[in-house]
Structure 1
Amino acid sequence: MADSTTPHQVAIVGCGIIGRTHADTVSARPDATVTALVDVDPAAAKALAARLTEAGHPEPKVYGDLDAAVAGSDVSLVAVCVPSGTHAVIAEQALEHKLHVVIEKPLDVDVAKGRRLAAAATRAASHGVVCSVISQHRFDPGSAIVAEAIRAGRFGTLTSAVASVAWWRSDEYYASAGWRGTWAQDGGGALMNQGVHTLDLLLWFMGRPVTIQAQAIRAAHHAIEVEDTLVATFTFENGAVATLHATTAAYPGGRTRISVHGTEGGAEVEDDVLRRFNADGNKEDLPVDEQSSKEAGSQQLSTNGHSRQYADILDAVSNGSQPGISVQDGIEALAAVRAVYIASTLQRPVKFEDVLEGKYDDVDVSRGVGLPPV
């Protein structure tokens, strides 16, 4: 394991789209380098290695599994970028080697596996090992402004929130990888895969949910197992309510929005940019951080949020502190997603705490996704 004076040596496990994002983010840092690439598909790993060397970075070694990478390369941190259903397994494997771990969101598709990972992360922390889950939009400047205003009470009493992810994914997208659109590896559809980051922001802004109701359907993509459209309602411990909408059936693709409302103000974040901000009883829009207003978001993966979160994680590694996003944060986001699917399956309200504690671990949520009601 690297000490605080040596560069962070990173193994990227999973060399697909999100693996490239992590590799680009790490390689752009002066204090980190990608030393190993791990993928069961050698062509994917070799393609990413070529991408890095063409950009002028040192050539990483390529391996078929993590154990081989740890044995054959200097590695201090593992970035878990494999399909969602194998996140926890790979992360635990890395922790057994006493390596720091960054897990791409979601934490996993199984809350029970998430709880086991949390226990492993707690044990590893006693040895100074850091484990964090990507929640990059918590590091967006606009979102941080909203969260700070909420914590300071500048919106008064929070009353409600509305979150929407209106995207389009083609049938070809789902067919391009065998794990996409499956319960076993994707863990869900429009919410688990595309909407999970927006749900994470909703939890960050509004706090812990109490009850959740939902309806999930396949509105356009009938060849997949999971939902392509859902709506859900949340009640929170602070008494506020919220609606959540996520779809990959909104041709040609719309925007991501989350708005928060209170008795003294509110805000709206659209495509990662803070578009409206009122606080302290002011009726007019207030000026916001100039950087946040310039950083236009898009449906294309951006490394900006990942870069900010990696800075937080690597600072924690170097300083022997805890990162801003913990495994517990990842479990709560996963439990909220799972609660939505369970509520749709059972067609009744579900208590978030019951899902978090494992009461519904055995529910087959695939039964809760169907065709639009007639």
Structure 2
Amino acid sequence: MKNVRLGIVGLGNIGKFHTGYLLDHKISRCTLTAVSDAYAPGLKPFEGKPGLTTYASCDDMIRSGEIDALVVATPHFLHTTIGIDALKHGLHVMIEKPISAHKADAERLIAVAKEHPKQVFAGMFQMRVEPRYQKVRNLIQSGELGKIVRVNWIITDWFRTEAYYASGGWRATWKGEGGGVLLNQCLHQLDMLQWLCGMPAKVRGFCQLGRFHNIEVEDNITTYLEWADGGTGVFVSSTGESPGTNRFEICGTRGKLVLENNKLSFTRNDADMIEFSKTSKSGFAKPDVWNVDIPFETVGNPHAILMQNFVDSILDGTPLIAPGAEGMGSVELANVLLYSSFINQTVDLPMDSAAWEKKLNQLIAESKHEKKVVQTVTEDFTKSFRR
């Protein structure tokens, strides 16, 4: 194979975004040859385009023989079933976030992927190629930050109106999304937390359902995380707060990193704070510090970088930046923080995936929430991308 024939299922906001740069031939050795959506109006803009076939049925596209790889950009609960079907029919698969609506489904998807090791299974976690987060990761892994003792991320600038939630019947429902701000807006930040700091050992979630909106899922959360080595963290998010905040702090024994307002700063200790505390003769002394602003570049289209990496992995065996199996971490964090809130208890990780699946199925079965879907104005949703 010298060129990857790509298909996309799901032509909502993110699916259409991917078609844009693919049809503009921004990805080398790759051609978008098919798209699919069960919503007929979503297919209209693509009908009649040269070299592009439209399918009302994803099943037909998967079995058509016209594609080598599939990008899954559907509502969450379809990620697992479509991903498994595509893998079983010999396709390489890229799954948009989250890889599954809940951990038990993610386990099923990953198990099938392991049964097909010659097929590339990737996740669209594009923040991993953002230079600012790569700089943070390098400082952690090099030991420059020392041992992590505290992590705080306040990301409450996801403000969404009632019109946003009314724009789709699946949005902000247990049946359609499986959760709210944690599983939808915060998935990339949760991926960053576990990519940078590792998975915590236990968590406690405090989640408010429909505090700011007429929805049944969480739109306001404050959570506590604790790592096996004693490090602690707080993760706070909301879609109902304006103007909101996006501030990420990581405190280590050698200093503190702060990422806020498009600026990464490092307050570096002259000595490890624990060692300094043990050896200082003064009760009020502190390590000397340097205040350093760390420059970083920006990348034009992180999604396209991940897509090119997916294609290169298929054709050349290039290591994936975001292997699909690593999408488990963010799904588990989104699930366990919500589950902890429901049962009003601290939960150890890894979580019991069956317990949350049972609770989620109960929420779906007992849901009495009625949504009124309304037409909204066309907007540039890429403004919501979190850099």
* TM-score category of the 2 structures, normalised to the smaller one: 0.7 to 0.9
CA contact (8 A) 2:150 2:232 kept: yes
CA contact (8 A) 1:136 1:309 kept: yes
2:308 is the counterpart of 1:308: no
Secondary structure at 1:23 match in 2: helix
Aligned equivalent of 1:162: 152
The 2-side partners of 1:312 and 1:109 are apart by 24
The Cα of 1:336 is off from its aligned counterpart by 1.0
Aligned equivalent of 1:147: 137
2:15 is the counterpart of 1:19: yes
Aligned equivalent of 2:273: none
Residue by residue over 1:155-195, the C-alpha shift from the partner in whole angstroms, topping out at 9 and shown as x without a partner, is 01111111122121111111110000101121111111111
Aligned equivalent of 1:86: 78
The 2-side partners of 1:325 and 1:290 are apart by 21
Number of matched pairs: 344
Given the alignment, which residue of 39, 45, 63 partners 2:43? 45
Aligned equivalent of 2:215: 224
CA contact (8 A) 1:230 1:245 kept: yes
Aligned equivalent of 2:358: 362
Residue by residue over 1:38-66, the C-alpha shift from the partner in whole angstroms, topping out at 9 and shown as x without a partner, is 0001210222568xx6xxxx552110122
Residue by residue over 1:109-158, the C-alpha shift from the partner in whole angstroms, topping out at 9 and shown as x without a partner, is 12111111111101111xx2001111111111110111111111110111
Distance 1:341 1:18, change over 3 A: same
The Cα of 1:321 is off from its aligned counterpart by 4.6
The Cα of 1:268 is off from its aligned counterpart by 2.6
Aligned equivalent of 1:330: 327
CA contact (8 A) 2:6 2:71 kept: yes
Given the alignment, which residue of 154, 170, 194 partners 1:203? 194
* Residue pairs, 1:270-289, within 5 angstroms: 270=260, 273-279=262-268, 281=270, 283-289=289-295
Structure with max Cα Rg: 2
Query: Which amino acid is 1:176 matched to?
Result: S
Aligned equivalent of 1:291: 297
The 1-side partners of 2:249 and 2:31 are apart by 38
Secondary structure at 2:178 match in 1: coil
The Cα of 1:279 is off from its aligned counterpart by 4.8
CA contact (8 A) 2:182 2:334 kept: yes
Secondary structure at 1:234 match in 2: strand
Aligned equivalent of 2:170: 179
Identity %: 26
RMSD: 2.3
Query: Which amino acid is 1:317 matched to?
Result: I
CA contact (8 A) 1:196 1:337 kept: yes
CA contact (8 A) 2:263 2:293 kept: no
CA contact (8 A) 2:95 2:324 kept: no
TM-score (norm 1): 0.85
Distance 1:96 1:223, change over 3 A: same
Unaligned runs of 5+ in 2: 271-287, 368-387
The 2-side partners of 1:155 and 1:343 are apart by 31
TM-score (norm 2): 0.82
CA contact (8 A) 1:199 1:333 kept: yes
The 1-side partners of 2:177 and 2:318 are apart by 32
Aligned equivalent of 1:300: none
